[in-house]
Copies of this chain bind each other. A is one copy, B any other.
Amino acid sequence: MANTTPIFIAVIGVGGVGKCFLSQLQDLTIRRPSPKLTLCYIATSRKALYNDDYSAINVDGAINALANSSKTPPSLPDLVTYLTMSPGKAIIVDNTSSQDVADAYPTALKAGVSVVTPNKKAFSGSYKLWQDIFQAAAASGAKVYHESSVGAGLPVISTLKDLVETGDEITKIEGVFSGTMSFLFNSFAPVSGGGGKWSSEVKKAKELGYTEPDPRDDLNGLDVARKLTILARLAGLPVESPTSFPVESLIPKELESCSSGDEFLEKLPLFDHQMDEKKASVGNKVLRFVGSIDVATQSVKVGLQSFEPSHPIAALKGSDNIISFYTKRYGSNALIVQGAGAGGDVTAMGVTADLIKIIAQIA
């Protein structure tokens, strides 16, 4: 029985993840010709490319065609209207990190348009938005998948959902959720001892492209706090926002008012002693930047913790993430998922895998 419902795909965002996703989508349409997938819309925040008759945009070359398009993007409600009138089912793939796009998910879902995204904003913003999203999806039957919002393509969200949906009780979730923080601490405080100066490691991480353009956006801990918010909510805790629990920032107080990331990086060496002191204070253990969720005490926190060198969190390499799920069924030995938690290809992989899962349900 071949699936026959045509599926129309609207892609928003063609940055690092968006480009990798388009390449995977092209590959997918070749390897899985059924059901018929049609890329009918592609846009950045300033330009859009689409045809009024929903005829297909060639995935190969879509980015160039978009650059040459003279159309500006319609409002998000207008995009939803356009998609609901398509002669099939529609899916929005949001490859941005935009709060505005995230805020439109309930409108899309209510109208029966499914959503796939690595964008953390919708799921880690206000608890009201979270509720609106899942209530809209439940009411219309549209799907919303966001594997890559935590740990990129690693099976984190799907594993947590399987545990919860099959009736296991999550007791604790703990891990390293930031590739940037992983790289920084694996270099600054390696298990083997030694390690570089903190400010040098931050500079190196920026040069290697492991940080945001302004490294303070990694060091303030908010990215990890957003991921913890998502996991805590999936585990059943009604966390109000990523600023409603303790988050330790690694930005020295004195540098909070720097006017630019460059100024920050220039002055950071003056405060290396602060990180050296923290490193020395843990003795034979090693310092790591982790997030944890204790379900029984409803406590969520993000910050520095020390680990025995034999602990899996201490043994992490490169910019890998590690996520440990402690549950009633799994007992004292956690279910652990580990691997690259950032990068265009692996993030896009989570998006594409989600897309395939939605198609299997709606086609």
Contacts and interface: CB of A to CB of B under 8 A. Distances in A.
B162 A353 contact: yes
A223 B130 CA distance: 44
Contacts of A166: 24, 28, 153, 349, 352-353, 356
Copies of this chain, whole number: 2
Contact of A330 (B168, B310, B315, B340): B340
B361 A346 contact: no
Contacts of A139: 1
A166 to B, nearest CB: 4
- Nearest first, the 8 closest Cβ-Cβ pairs linking A and B are A1-B141, A335-B339, A162-B353, A336-B338, A166-B352, A27-B167, A155-B155, A329-B345
Interface in A294-339: 310, 312, 315, 317-318, 320, 325, 329-331, 333-339
A330 B317 contact: no
Interface in A1-47: 1, 3, 24, 27-28, 31
Interface in A147-195: 153-155, 158-159, 162-163, 165-168
A72 interface: no
B317 A315 contact: no
Interface residues of A, number: 47
A339 B346 contact: no
A294 B24 CA distance: 24
Interface string A282-303: 0000000000000000000000
A68 interface: no
A158 B317 CA distance: 24
Contacts of A338: 312, 335-338
Nearest to A318: B333
19 contacts: A1-B140, A3-B141, A155-B162, A158-B158, A165-B352, A166-B349, A167-B352, A310-B315, A312-B312, A312-B315, A312-B338, A325-B339, A330-B340, A330-B346, A331-B340, A333-B339, A335-B337, A336-B336, A338-B338
